[in-house]
Amino acid sequence: MAKTSDSGEVLRVSNLDAGYGHVKVIRGGGIAVAAGEVVALVGRNGAGKTTFLAALAGLIPDVSGQIVLHGQDLAALPSHKRVQAGLGICPSGGRLFKSLTVEENLTIGAPTATEADLAPVLKLFPELQALRTRYAGKLSGGERQMVAIGRALMLKPRLLLLDEPSEGLAPIVVLRLVEAIKALRASGVAMLVAEQNVKFTDLVCDTWYSIDKGVIAPHNHSAAHEPHAAIA
């Protein structure tokens, strides 16, 4: 069992370098997430947000630095061991299996899941109850995002990574996701949200970091709007 930090800190990343081959995308990245906190990683398209989350999840082989989740250093662990340690990820665009139903997508990482295991996800997203037998390829963008988040939650993560959750969604759907994220935060789930939509992060996040050309820096609440004011 992972050791829990006395300070209530869920995640601490320090001196993280990550890239692809000879191309270094993240340079000395550092970030911290406390229990029950929603942290934003804000940057424009191509700034390195997805690479940073992928490095945390163990999806990029060329990584150095420390990734500590509840006192356990994950840096040397393969991705499935990081999931077992409590790290969940919802990738950009959801990436569902279109030929599987909603319920099959929700339980694909937890094949022995019971109705009781599904209950918290269906309570968070009651819209999915009537869609359980629908194929994912026939869902709307908002419905796909709900399923993708629900799939990650089925693994009962200590920390949930959300990559561009508002991307391509209608404003009314974005507000629905805001409600869901606030409910998760109230239940104690810690989250790291990588976004370029600062209006969205302003509604759900407690702490902000900016990323530009792979360099991560802390931002206060008001400053988080300035570098990305033109982003809708």
pLDDT tens, 152-171? 999 999 999 999 999 999 99
36-40, 54-58, 184-188, 217-221: which has the minimum mean pLDDT? 217-221
Q: Quick one: pLDDT band at residue 101, thresholds 50, 70, 90?
A: very high
Nearby residues of 189 by Cβ (< 8 Å), 6 or more positions away: 36, 153, 157, 160
Q: How far apart are CA 31 and CA 28, in angstroms?
A: 10
Q: Quick one: pLDDT band at residue 82, thresholds 50, 70, 90?
A: very high
At 73 the pLDDT is: 95
Task: For the chain, give every domain's residue range.
Answer: 9-228
Please say if the pLDDT value at position 7 is more than 90. no
Please say if the pLDDT value at position 220 is more than 80. no
If you write DSSP's letter for every residue of the chain in order, what string do you get?
-PPPPTT-EEEEEEEEEEEETTEEEEEEEEEEEETT-EEEEE--TTSSHHHHHHHHTT--SEEEEEEEETTEE-TTS-HHHHHHHTEEEE-TT----TTSBHHHHHHTT-TT--HHHHHHHHHH-GGGGGGTTSBGGG--HHHHHHHHHHHHHTT--SEEEEESTTTT--HHHHHHHHHHHHHHHHTT-EEEEEES-HHHHHHH-SEEEEEETTEEEEE-TTGGGGGGTT--
Higher pLDDT, 232 or 138: 138
pLDDT, mean over the chain: 91
At 61 the pLDDT is: 85
Domain 9-228 has CATH 3.90.105.10: no
At 222 the pLDDT is: 52
Percent of the chain with pLDDT over 90: 86
Residue with the two structure tokens 């792979």: 214
Please say if the pLDDT value at position 5 is more than 60. no
Q: Give the C-alpha distances (Å, rounded to integers) separating 113 from 90, 119, 121.
A: 19, 10, 12
Please say if the pLDDT value at position 142 is more than 50. yes
Q: Quick one: pLDDT band at residue 111, thresholds 50, 70, 90?
A: confident
Percent of the chain with pLDDT over 70: 91
Q: Once rounded to an integer, what is the mean pLDDT over residues 138-145?
A: 96
